[in-house]
Chain A
Amino acid sequence: MSKRARPTSSAVAMNSKPLRSRAQPIAVYALLILGVVIVIVPLMWAGAASFTPNHKVFEYAYPFSWRALFPVDFTLEAYDNLFDRGFGRAVSNTFFLAIATVIIGGAVNALAGFAFGRFEFRGKNALFLTIVMLTFMVPVDLTAIPRYILVNSFGWINTWQGLLVPGLANSLVIFLFRQFFAEIPQELIDAARVDGATWLRVLVSIILPISKPVLVAAALLMFISQWNAFFWPLLIAPTKEMRVVQVEISLAIGQYGTVWNELLAGSMIAAIVPILLVIPFQRYYVQAITGTGLE
């Protein structure tokens, strides 16, 4: 009788409002499509233009024709030139940095989330409020100068340590782990503890295997925010060998600002990686970004 009982309808669909009249769906779809046009057209043009000879990048954009959205004069020239200039180095740098952040940062933040989510200890609330919440509230870009001076005093300018270490601990990710771990049934943990497992063993072999949603969410969040990071890498690692993708494309504007197809090819590579990660895992990603805002 109730629609809720149907296993196929997702939680999302259940809470959606049904459409009322005939006119409403048309208006809804018209607005939805308008939004899609605004989202898609810049990406399609940029993608198409990155596969176009440089002198034709604006050919169909002004005056506008539909050809602007498709690579009608297809060439790999921009990508070839871009990689000849060493763009591959920036791509591999960024992959390495993002993966290292996910692995090391994931471990650091999961341990902290485990402690906050599953233990009672003296000073727990105070530590959470003064350190995790406070650092969550202060945007990292605002404190970049002293961080720069500090990292400089370590001799970490233009090094992997300088790029990686300051971003490993992430209060948002600690938050996500804490919330998830706190809801795991106590019996699972008790059973393992009776068998004499250490707490680290409980975390690694009992909790982590059943924590896929939060692991995927946290990994996506850390990977994408590191992949898209700009301000800190710009300050700390501007030399050619250490540049990440976002810095490389941004400096390209000044250096060879009229080679538009290469600029767009670099931008497309910078955009496609997070897009390919978000699309298959969108449920986890949405939970990761909205998870903390609602409490």
Chain B
Amino acid sequence: MMRARQQIIPYLFLLPALLLLIVFNLMPTIATLFESMFVISLRSGERVFAGFANYNRIFNDPIFWKSFQVTVVFSLLVNPIQIALALGLAVLINQRAPGIGIFRSIYLLPIAVSLNVTAIVWGLMLDQNSGMVNGILLQLGIPRQPFLHSVDQALWSIILIASWIGVPLWSLFILAGLQNIPPPVLEAAKIDGASAWQSFTKITLPLLRRVLAFVLVADTVANFLMFAPILLLTSGGPRLSTNLIMYETYRRGFLYGDLGASAAMLSVMLVIVFLIVGIELYALRGRD
């Protein structure tokens, strides 16, 4: 009798959390895939089963493919840039130097600030007429740049805004990884005559492999869902050059009311996220 009661207790403790996760997270994940097979009937306003019609529509839609392409280009640029800079920043703040604690605190500030606030402030900093960045360029004798208003520069501006938070954020993970490396390992390399660069590439980087793999996946997924700066600053423009896929799903679903097409796009994104995470789990399986 006592044992039976004991056995119930952990389930009771789990019940509220697991119930909430099932209802608000797990079911919606499955429902996204279902929802992508329905359309809202224009005549009756009811949801009608449509099979793969939504997928057919989005796969034959140049705007979807354009936003897919923009997202791929964005990912291929923003992730390597952020990870390289985050690695550099982590090595930098891992130095034993006077006052380093103050620098570490300052680099935490962007992480506390929301992406919305970052987008608003940087949007005004990058203003094409009177923003501060152009104000500094003017002092340097460089002509005014259009930034968010230019097909060529808008995506780069979004990369800058995302990286203002992303670089310090991911550097924290890499810093934690660096501090897990036992100092004797690096000292031994130094005694053996390895240069700083050699010990970094031959010892530090291989030991950071797991952390870097995690950061790569988490950063890729986070940037894949980039939304707020697009909504607030560019609405996907100019000429769809910043029309990242998450914004496109929002536009279809919530601005145009086409929830079916939106759910189909989200399902495609879900599959991609699972592939990205799955590849990481596969790459890191069983080692160490």
Contact = CB atoms under 8 A, between A and B. Distances in A.
B194 interface: no
Interface in B14-32: 14, 16-29, 31-32
Interface in A1-47: 11-20, 25, 28-29, 31-32, 35-36, 38-43, 45-46
A168 B111 CA distance: 22
A253 B9 contact: no
12 contacts: A112-B13, A115-B14, A127-B14, A135-B25, A145-B266, A146-B32, A150-B24, A168-B20, A250-B232, A270-B114, A282-B105, A293-B176
B176 A294 contact: yes
A268 B50 CA distance: 47
A170 to B, nearest CB: 9
A143 B95 CA distance: 42
A293 B35 contact: no
Contact of B124 (A64, A166, A231, A264): A264
Interface string B57-97: 00000000000000000000000000000001100111111
Interface in B151-203: 164, 168-169, 172-173, 176-181, 183, 186, 196
A35 B107 contact: yes
A274 interface: yes
Contact of A111 (B17, B29, B228): B17
Interface stretch (A72-80, A81-89, A184-192, A283-291): A283-291
Interface string A238-254: 00000000100110010
Given A15-B181, A43-B121, A142 B108 contact: no
Nearest to A134: B26
A256 interface: no
Contacts of A108: 16-17, 20
Contact of B92 (A35, A122, A166, A264): A35
Nearest to A290: B176
A260 B123 CA distance: 11
Interface in A173-232: 174, 199, 224, 227-228, 230-231
Contacts, number: 288
A127 to B, nearest CB: 7
Interface residues of A, number: 97
A61 B135 contact: yes
A40 B113 CA distance: 12
Contacts of B48: none
- Per CB-CB distance, the 5 closest pairs between chain A and chain B, nearest first, are A146-B31, A112-B17, A64-B135, A169-B20, A62-B135
A289 B172 contact: yes
Given A142-B32, A264-B121, A228 B114 contact: yes
A279 B29 CA distance: 36
A103 interface: no
B14 A19 contact: no
B2 to A, nearest CB: 12
Contacts of A139: 221-222, 225, 273
B82 to A, nearest CB: 14
Given A146-B35, A270-B114, A290-B176, A62 B263 contact: no
Given A62-B131, A108-B16, A121 B26 contact: no
Contacts of A137: 273-274, 277
A145 to B, nearest CB: 5
B13 A114 contact: yes
Given A16-B179, A115-B13, A174-B17, 13 more contacts: A11-B179, A42-B164, A61-B125, A63-B138, A68-B132, A68-B135, A119-B9, A142-B270, A267-B117, A286-B172, A289-B173, A294-B177, A294-B214
Contact of A275 (B113, B115, B227): B113
By CB atoms of chain B within 10 A, which of A135, A143, A230, A270 has the most? A143
A201 B19 CA distance: 23
Interface string B207-239: 000110011001001100101100110000000
Interface in B93-135: 93-97, 100, 103-117, 120-122, 124-125, 127, 129-132, 134-135
Contacts of B269: 142
Given A143-B31, A145-B35, A253 B16 contact: no
B44 interface: no
Given A35-B89, A282-B105, A289-B111, A271 B7 contact: no
Contact of A169 (B17, B34, B246): B17
A64 B132 contact: yes
Interface string A41-72: 11101100100000000100111100010000
Contacts of B232: 250, 253
A51 to B, nearest CB: 15
Interface in A150-182: 150, 165-169, 171, 174
A110 to B, nearest CB: 9
B253 interface: yes
A64 B176 contact: no
